[in-house]
Structure 1
């Protein structure tokens, strides 16, 4: 299929544009080691990514995706501080764009599409990562997980992006790797593209009914 009359493309960041798993795992395990707790493999930590830093830290402290309801609030606060401080200094040690991302984004920009990032990652980390990966300047709007009162899978960030960029929901498409992206788009009434790589908790992205599914980021050019 081809999308019609699209003006704005909204992108998730982690798992969609960039593979940040190694650096997130490094920061999570540093936090756990600092607190004398068990560390985990990158593969396991990848399954906890996608709902923002606070949720990632709480999952790590719980040792599983389901958060332990008995976690101490002070412990969670201290752990989050440790994680954020370390990650801020190690944003792009091993983080790289996924295959064909830089070239495809450049092509879309040249085709006069307006690009934006809607991520659950803390806002302060996004621009430094983009700069390190020479992706800075491509995006008209960046929304982080702490930019608004709610984050994906709530539709608020997507609707806010439409409002800020003065376009209708129908003129936008959301591109993401996880159910958070697709659920937010579906609730907002926005068409979406699900990518089959990234961090979708081991689930098939198709379960959540994106408009289109792609295996490689460059396939976006065939849809627009």
Structure 2
């Protein structure tokens, strides 16, 4: 079985294409050190990633996945500014592509698909990561978590991508590793493919019922045959 009449693939970034936790963890801990607060191991921080920079640093300040709503706003604002500055300096040092990502993206491009990035990561960090991991020139569009008034799981980024690429929702597939991706796709009435290996807080992504759920990125090729003359 394949996804028919699709021409545009909307990809999440962190946890889907790239394991960015090593660099995120470094920047988080540098921030906490600057604020004279306890630091955390990479495995702990890994479980806080996936909802954007503000949520990540708020969890770090809370020392928990559950954000402390009593955190002073001034502290959160200062911490976020520090984090973004530190992360800018290490955005693609130890981050790495997941297995099969570059080869599969290249194959999909050759099959005629148009590729786009829709991530909750701040927009300014997208291009440095793509450049650092040699993924430039593959994506027509890049939308970050601060590109629009709303971010995933809100459908606005997906609708905006459709508008900017001049395609219908029926022509698109959302591909990601977390419930934010699947919920955004459902809200936009877009088919979705879930990937089990990313940042989903140990929750079974199958609960959110993506159209397909794969353990390996290259399995995308089994349901995406090609478009146009390549189909």
TM-score range, shorter chain: over 0.9
Alignment of 1:1-224 (within 5 A): 1-224=1-224
Deviation at 1:143, TM superposition (A): 0.1
For 1:12 and 1:205, how far apart are their aligned partners in 2?
15
Q: Partner of 1:140: helix, strand, or coil?
A: strand
Partner of 2:227: none
Superposed CA deviations along residues 22-54 of structure 1, whole A, max 9, x for unmatched, are: 111111111111111111111111111111101
Deviation, structure 1 residue 66: 1.2
Where 2:193 maps in the other structure, the secondary structure is strand
Q: Which runs of 5+ in 2 are unaligned?
A: 225-231
Instruction: Please give the secondary structure, in 2, of the residue aligned with 1:67.
Output: coil
* Structure 1 stretches of 4+ moved >2 Å: none
3-state SS, counterpart of residue 79 of structure 2: helix
Deviations 1:30-82 (A, max 9, x none): 11111111111111111111111011111100011111111011111110111
TM-score, L = length of structure 2? 0.96
Decide which moves more: 48-57 or 6-15: 48-57
- Provide structure 1 residue ranges, at least 5 long, that are not aligned to the other structure: none
Give the match's secondary structure for 2:139.
coil
Question: How many residues were matched structurally?
Answer: 224
Partner of 2:203, secondary structure, is: coil
Residues in 1 aligned to 2:199 and 2:44: alpha-carbon distance in whole angstroms: 11
CA RMSD of aligned residues (A): 0.6
User: What are the Cα deviations for residues 100-147 of structure 1, in whole angstroms up to 9, with x where unaligned?
Assistant: 000000011111100000000000000011001000110000000000
Q: TM-score, normalised by structure 1?
A: 0.99
